[in-house]
Amino acid sequence: MGDPFRVRVTVRGYELDTQGHLNQAVYLQYGEHARWECLRAAGISQDRLLATGVGPVALEVTLRYLRELRGGDEVDVSCAFRWGEGKTFHIDQAYTRADGTPVATLTGVGGLLDLAARRLVPDPRERFRALATDPGPLNL
């Protein structure tokens, strides 16, 4: 497995809280942005997912803050899928300043929801593999 997929985000002023650092909820948005960009890099758009009747869902998210981010800071957010057996998969994300300083980590458990049945698909790994035009970013 190579380096994880990553996307760079610049912290915007309206994302700051009253202490002048990135609002805690925005870290979750950055993580989600990186996950969607990872899917897009694999050739899986939201439209493609909807057309096939499935959508990714977050089942558990743990965020650990290590350093603050302030307006104008640049942060790289990685996204690494870990596959196992069953209906769920794991995602590991690292938030790192452009200078390499670790800022936060996010770990999560996800699934792929059948939008008609409203149940998790039995094998999300294979479904993502079938949808991807480039499975590399998803570690498939």
> Model confidence over 18-29: pLDDT tens digits?
999 999 999 999
Average pLDDT over residues 71-79: 97
Task: Return the active site residues.
Answer: 17
Looking at residue 1, its pLDDT comes to: 55
Q: What is the pTM of this model?
A: 0.94
Give the chain's domains with CATH numbers: 6-132 (3.10.129.10)
| Contact present, 113 and 54 (Cβ < 8 Å) | yes
**Whole-angstrom distance, CA of residue 81 vs CA of residue 109:** 10
Average pLDDT over residues 32-40: 98
What is the helix (H) or strand (E) element at residue 32, kind and residue range?
A: helix 24-41
> Model confidence over 87-131: pLDDT tens digits?
999 999 999 999 999 999 999 999 999 999 999 999 999 999 999
Residue 46 has pLDDT above 80, yes or no: yes
Token pair, residue 113, equals: 């929801």
Q: pLDDT-derived band of residue 3, with 50, 70 and 90 as boundaries?
A: confident
Q: What is the mean pLDDT of the chain?
A: 96
